Chain A
């Protein structure tokens, strides 16, 4: 489902974020991406979601080389990826319902179907009672769950999460991780960047460790865990 072949990413500032990364994630797999901060976890996820492009090497998502995807097709491509961020990226002037409905509205779904799908997503993250509230009225954990509901509401083939539990206390964090596991069981390929080692170990899923690029010319590859 996701394949990295000798991918490097250097930012225009000269900073080398990824160097010679090789990685393969099968359809329906769930994996954690870990490593020190600055090891390029976020960059790796961005390359998958077409939020950035590799300097060299190729990224293949769902059998498609991301380099060959035209800019015009990018939005449609992104709609098949549910992305969750550490800072939830919710729209503060819209209700929980409207936030989650956004991807479906973009797809042009009918109102009745949107209602049904949003309720189903809210139910999965246990927030059914909060659909009329606004993000400011929610706790950090709830906001994160709204973000997850929005990412999964259109049943994406791939779910990417960048430090989804970064701001949460351990109980909540574990709760969120299990929610992801659930979505993986429904069939989505899930890749989560996290540095919460304890929690990751608990989940008993494949762990991918990204090593920090120390200096140029140092092979900072990738070690596949387990």
Chain B
């Protein structure tokens, strides 16, 4: 019995034909399917939603911390017994340093005025005999001299601390650094959550495909009887898995963006109250594609696992 298969066209051509057939067939099956398919898709979408939205949250918090439009500053609190003139002189001397771009003196009286305006602590402040606020020098470092900002800022701060007039050096990036280290922990937490939810998606799709196989046992049997290869039988199921992953991914993106829309208003309001130019950002194109790719891959792997054990053997059990 000679090899008379692939009578028409090349091996590649017939393989492409097989894939096309499997794609069309699996899509048609999905399209015809019932409520349970939608429930499965929704479960996948929700499972994917969580890591995606956590990622988005993290992304936004990060963008809040590396806002390049605001150059970090260092506040130098001058000792109480130092006169305004001496503070001003110190400021002028500091301005000559190469690392420093600009020094602005905020005299204690001006600071008090501003403080009254901003906080509504007016009455409380009235009760004090004297102004509790020190003179402050606001130092803007030379941003282009700063290669490794955090380290250089720290060095500069240490240097500034050695001047006798200065009581306290406070870097504005302190909170940024703290937040960043918190975010680094959050990043790991999200990774763990993502891994667990990816496993959930894998199991959901795997189980769906397994039921699918169960429902189409007869078809598989007949296909085997008339000489279908394991790959041929496996293919539509693998594509079904990919579709579940892909469509679940699309649904999760829609959900995330709907949620985002709901957040935009309040977040902008909050940003305005803080006088920040912060704007909430959505998922980047790269992230969007990554989510779709990852979810499709999960679908493929889930289907592969479900199909693998079932179809490996070409034997038939009647």
Q: Give A contacts to B, CB under 8 Å.
A: 49, 51, 61-64, 71, 74-81, 83, 89-91, 93, 102-103, 105-111, 113, 150-151, 157
A109 to B7: give the CA distance in the assembly, Å: 7
Q: Does B21 contact A (CB under 8 A)?
A: yes
Closest A residue to B5 using CB positions? A107
Q: Pick the residue among A71, A81, A109, A157 that contacts B14 (CB under 8 A).
A: A109
Residue contact A76 to B3, C-beta cutoff 8 Å: yes
**8 Å CB interface, B1-31 against A:** 1, 3-9, 11, 13-15, 17-18, 21
In the assembled complex, how far is the CB of residue A100 from the closest CB belonging to chain B, in whole angstroms? 10
Q: Within the assembled complex, what's the spacing in Å between the Cα atoms of A48 and B3? A: 18
Cβ A107 vs Cβ B226 within 8 A: no
Q: How far is the CA of A71 from the CA of B314 in the complex (A)?
A: 7
Collect the chain B residues with CB atoms within 8 Å of residue A64's CB: 1
Residue of B nearest to A80 (CB): B1
Q: Which residues of B contact A150 (CB under 8 A)?
A: 226
* B15 and A157 contact, CB distance less than 8 A: no
With A106-B227, A107-B7, A108-B15 known as contacts, the answer to whether A75 contacts B314 (CB < 8 A) is yes
A91 x B227 contact (CB < 8 A): no
Q: B310 to nearest A CB, angstroms? A: 15
> Given the known A-B contacts A51-B316, A74-B314, A91-B218, are A79 and B5 also in contact in the complex, defined by CB atoms under 8 Å?
yes
Closest to B12 in A: A108
Nearest 8 Cβ contacts at the A-B interface:
A108-B14, A79-B227, A78-B227, A62-B1, A75-B229, A80-B1, A75-B227, A74-B314
Q: List 13 other contacts, CB 8 Å, given A75-B228, A80-B1.
A: A76-B3, A76-B5, A79-B226, A80-B227, A89-B222, A93-B219, A102-B223, A107-B7, A107-B14, A108-B8, A108-B11, A109-B8, A150-B226
Give CA–CA (A78, B5) in the complex, Å: 11
Known contacts being A71-B314, A91-B219, A113-B8, is A106 close to B1, with CB within 8 Å? no
CA distance in complex: A219, B221 (Å): 35
- What residues make up the interface of B, taking CB atoms closer than 8 Å to A? 1, 3-9, 11, 13-15, 17-18, 21, 218-219, 221-230, 232, 313-316, 318
List the B side residues contacting A106 at CB < 8 Å. Answer: 223, 226-229, 232
In the complex, chain A residues whose CB is within 8 Å of the CB of B8: 108-110, 113
Expressed in whole angstroms, the Cα–Cα distance for A91 and B13 within the complex equals: 26
Chain B residues, CB < 8 A from A102: 222-223, 226, 228
* A108/B17 in contact, CB under 8 A: yes
Kindly report which residue of chain B lies nearest to residue A151, judged by CB atoms: B226
Q: How far is the CA of A216 from the CA of B54 in the complex (A)?
A: 72
Tell me the smallest distance from the CB of A162 to a CB of chain B, in Å.
11
- A78 near B226: Cβ-Cβ < 8 Å: yes
Q: Please, could you name 11 A-B residue pairs with CB atoms under 8 Å apart, sorted by A?
A: A64-B1, A75-B229, A75-B232, A75-B314, A79-B5, A81-B227, A103-B226, A106-B227, A108-B6, A109-B17, A110-B13
Q: Report yes or no: A157 in contact with B1, Cβ–Cβ below 8 A.
A: yes
Most chain A Cβ neighbours within 10 Å, of B1, B21, B313, B315: B1
* Bound-state Cα–Cα, A113 to B7, Å: 10
Residue of A nearest to B219 (CB): A91
